[in-house]
């Protein structure tokens, strides 16, 4: 009996929704300044996994969806994730051959870029100052979570 396969777009949509839910879930373990950037991790995975199909546009719409859900300044997460994905696209060929430690470092840089862009927009529009703690701690936690996010999602992609 042949087994029907679930299309990749379904998995992309499900993982983006899960990443969005993880972003808005009130984690009691994390102070808000420690909140990892779950949606960025999901977008980075799909951009790396399917580079010809997904890129800056996916990052823009995922960020815009996060802007809509969280409220606040419209477009700040969209711009932050877009710039992070743009930098990722510039080095994506080297990323596949990098060791896990190098991948963690790159995900850390992408998360810092996202935090700096959103923090700069907050400072410019809302006149709110951001501390270094609110930039580097979530980025560090996001980078540490990269292997845990990547492994189960790789299994889903390899089964297709």
The predicted model scores a pTM of: 0.89
- Residue the block writes with tokens 């270094």: 132
| Residue 86, both tokens | 């743009």
pLDDT at 99: 87
Cα–Cα distance, 53 to 155 (Å, whole number):
19
pLDDT at 1: 45
Map out the domains of the chain with their CATH numbers.
8-159 (1.10.1760)
| Residue 131, both tokens | 């501390």
| Residue 73, both tokens | 């300044």
End-to-end CA distance of the chain: 17
| Residue 72, both tokens | 């606040």
Per-residue pLDDT tens over the stretch 39-55:
999 999 999 988 899 99
Task: Give the residues of the chain that fall short of pLDDT 70.
Answer: 1-6, 28-33, 130-132, 158-160
**What sections of the chain are H helices per DSSP?**
8-24, 38-49, 56-70, 76-97, 100-121, 133-159
């Amino acid at each position: 009996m042949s087994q029907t396969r679930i299309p990749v777009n379904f998995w992309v949509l499900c993982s983006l929704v899960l990443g969005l839910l993880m972003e808005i879930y009130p984690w009691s373990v994390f102070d808000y300044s420690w909140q990892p950037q779950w949606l960025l991790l999901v977008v980075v995975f799909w951009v790396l996994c399917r580079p010809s199909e997904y890129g800056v546009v996916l990052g823009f719409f995922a960020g815009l969806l996060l802007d809509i859900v969280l409220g606040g300044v419209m477009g700040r997460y969209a711009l932050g994730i877009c710039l992070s994905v743009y930098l990722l696209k510039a080095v994506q060929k080297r990323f596949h051959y990098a060791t896990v430690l190098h991948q963690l470092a790159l995900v850390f840089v992408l998360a810092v870029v996202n935090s700096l862009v959103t923090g700069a927009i907050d400072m410019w529009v809302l006149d709110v100052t951001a501390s270094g703690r609110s930039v580097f701690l979530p980025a560090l936690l996001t980078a540490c979570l990269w292997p845990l996010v990547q492994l189960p999602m790789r299994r889903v992609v390899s089964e297709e």
